[in-house]
Chains A and B, each alone.
Chain A
Amino acid sequence: MKYPTKTDLLVIVILIAVSLYPILAQNDSAGKKKLFLLIGQKQYEIPFKDGTIDLNNKYDVNMILQIEGEKARFIESDCPNKLCIKYGWVNNCGEMAVCVPNKTAVQIKCEKDGNIDAISR
C-alpha cells in the first residue's frame, strides 16, 4: 500500500479545517449588535423591536426613539439644538447619537471588540 492514500489526504484536509476553526471563528465579524440607552450614568439595553419608544414614560426624558431593523434614531426631543435628531440613524458598532442637555444617548455596541475603539469628531 502506498502512503498517503486518498483517504489519508481527505482526513488530513478535514483535520486541518477543523483545527483552524477556533482561530477563524474568533476573527469572524464583530458579533451580535446590541442597542443601549445611556441616560445619566446608567445604561439600559433595549431590544431591537420595530416601532417608537416614548422615553418620557420610563426614563423621564422628553424624547422619542425610533427603532427599525438593527438601527435606531431620535425623532423627537425637547432640547434646543436638536443635534441628536440631526445625527440621524445609528447603525454601526460603537456609533451613538447624543443629546447632552437631556443627558441621553443611544448607542450600538457589538459583542466582540471591533477594530475601532473611538471616533474623533
Chain B
Amino acid sequence: MGISAKITALLFVVLIPFVISGCRDKEQYNTRSFYEMGTIVNVTLSNKDDSIINQLNKRMKSWENEISGFAEKVNNAEPGKSISVSGIIYSLLQKAEYYKNLSNDKFDITVATISSLYGFPEGPFRVPDNETIQKNSDDVGFSNLVFDKKVLTKKTDLKIDMGAYAKGYIVDKGIEFLKSEEIKSAMINAGGDLYALGNKKNRKWHIAIKNPDNKKKFLSIIALKNKAVATSGNYERYFEKNGRRYTHIFNALTLQSVNNYKSISVIADTVEKSDGLATVYYLMNIEKMRETCRKLKTPLLVYTKKSEKIKLCGWQEYEISN
C-alpha cells in the first residue's frame, strides 16, 4: 500500500466519529415549571412541543380547581345538604371506595375529619386533645357519604381529602391532553409523582428514587416508558411533637397518624394508581403488600425505618442502578 493510500484510509477513520457526532439528534428537552395542586409541577418536553405548556398549565389548574372546590364545599357543608357531583368527581369518589376496600378500611378519604384537627395537609400543625378527637371520631366513615352520579350528601359532619390520589389523577389527565395533541415524548412530574410518556430521544426516562437519609445517593434508579411512579414517605409532610413524628398518612381504623416506613415507591400504568397505592401500601405490613402487589402487578420499593430496601413484584426489572 502506498503512503497516499494509507493516509486516505486513516483520514476516513478520523472522520467517521466526527460524522457520527454531527449526525446526532439536535433535539433538546426543556423543563418548565408551575405551581399547582400544592406542589411544583415540572413538565419536560422536546423543544418542538414547548408551546403547549401554557395550555397544559391552564387545564391542570381548572381540574385542580374543580376537585379542590368540591372538597371545600363538602367540608363546609351542613350534613344533609346536597352537593352536585361532576363526572370527574364521581370517578374520584369511586376510586376512594376502591382504595378503601383494597386496604380493608384502613384508607378512607373521610379520615381528614381527624387529620385536619392536626393541621394537615397545609399546617400550621398541632396535636389536638383527646376530647376533640373523641368528639369527631364518630363522624368518620366513607359510608357516611351518600352519592350517585349527580349529587352527594354527607350524613355526619365529616371532612374529606382526596389528596392521596387526586394529584396523580390530574397528571394522568395532563398526559391524556398531551397525547391528544400528538405529543409522543414528555414527562409530567408533580412533586415526585410522575408519568413518563414514550422515550426520551432514544432511551427510556431515567427516574431516581430519593434517599431521605443521604441526598448524594439514591435508593434506586429506574427506567420507564409509558409508566408512572409515585412515592409516599414519612420525611416531607410531617411534624414532630414531644419526640413523636406525625406523618400526613392516617389509619382510618385507629384514627392515628402512621409512621410505618421511610418511603414506598410504586410503579403503575397511571399516576393516580401509583399515588393511591403508595399510600395504601404504606398502611400495610410487608406480607400484605406482597400479596396485593402480586394481584395488581405493581412493582414497589419499600425503604424501611431500619433503612433496608425491600423490592417487591418485579421492581428490579425496571432498575438500571441501585
Contact = CB atoms under 8 A, between A and B. Distances in A.
B293 to A, nearest CB: 17
Binding site secondary structure of chain A: mixed
B210 interface: yes
B117 interface: no
A47 interface: no
B40 A96 contact: yes
Interface residues of B, number: 55
Contacts of B13: 15-16, 19
Contact of B38 (A3, A100, A116): A100
A82 to B, nearest CB: 10
Contact of A98 (B40, B212, B216, B230): B40
A80 B124 contact: yes
A98 B237 CA distance: 13
Interface in B36-70: 38-40, 42, 44, 57
Contacts of A41: 32-34, 57
A45 interface: no
A26 B33 contact: no
A119 B17 contact: no
Nearest to A104: B35
A117 B207 contact: yes
Nearest to A18: B14
Contacts, number: 112
A23 B210 contact: no
B207 A22 contact: no
A120 B280 CA distance: 17
Interface in B219-266: 221, 229-231, 233, 236, 239, 263, 265
Contact of A120 (B14, B192, B239): B192
B187 interface: yes
A117 B44 contact: yes
Nearest to B219: A120
A119 B200 contact: no
A118 B194 contact: yes
B16 interface: yes
Contact of B42 (A23, A103, A118): A118
11 contacts: A16-B14, A19-B18, A38-B33, A81-B123, A81-B125, A88-B215, A95-B215, A109-B31, A117-B187, A120-B208, A120-B230
